[in-house]
Amino acid sequence: MSKSRYEPLVKLKKKSLDNVERALIAANNMLSCASDKLNHSYEELSRMHLPSQGTVGEFSQATAMIHAQHLSIDQYRSALELAEQEQRYMRERFKEAMIEYEKFKYLEVQELNAKMKLMKAQESKMLDEIGTMMYKSERI
């Protein structure tokens, strides 16, 4: 059977869909990693405490570490927000790519069905002609 004129477009859209799907998976991984880092930073912060006794140096060192951990948490929170935005964007691109792929796949199937229908009609006509010729040859 002959190929569909949509076949190259379907292949191109499938390749595009696969690329977007890989990007979506990467965005999901990035989101998961950012979330893990943020949770880990919160856990570290919960383990930190200010000394109740000791020198001023120890106290200032502990406050500096807690402050640094807060800064780290802010950075990870920002990274998490960026990862969420990237994931939303990739999800939208994936939907669009899927719709485009399905659209051309549908057109390809419709064209192939139309060709099959045409071939069946031609085959039916040929069989009718052969039957008519056989009938005429038997009558002679």
Q: How confident is the model at residue 53 (pLDDT cuts 50, 70, 90)?
A: confident
Residue 134's Cβ-count burial label (10 Å; 0-12, 13-18, 19+) is exposed
Question: 83 or 55, which is more confident?
Answer: 83
Q: How confident is the model at residue 20 (pLDDT cuts 50, 70, 90)?
A: very high
Give residue 57's pLDDT. 87
Average pLDDT over residues 52-79: 91
Give residue 140's pLDDT. 65
Q: What is the residue extent of each domain of the chain?
A: 7-104
What average pLDDT is seen over the chain? Answer: 91
CB-based contact 46:106 (threshold 8 Å): no
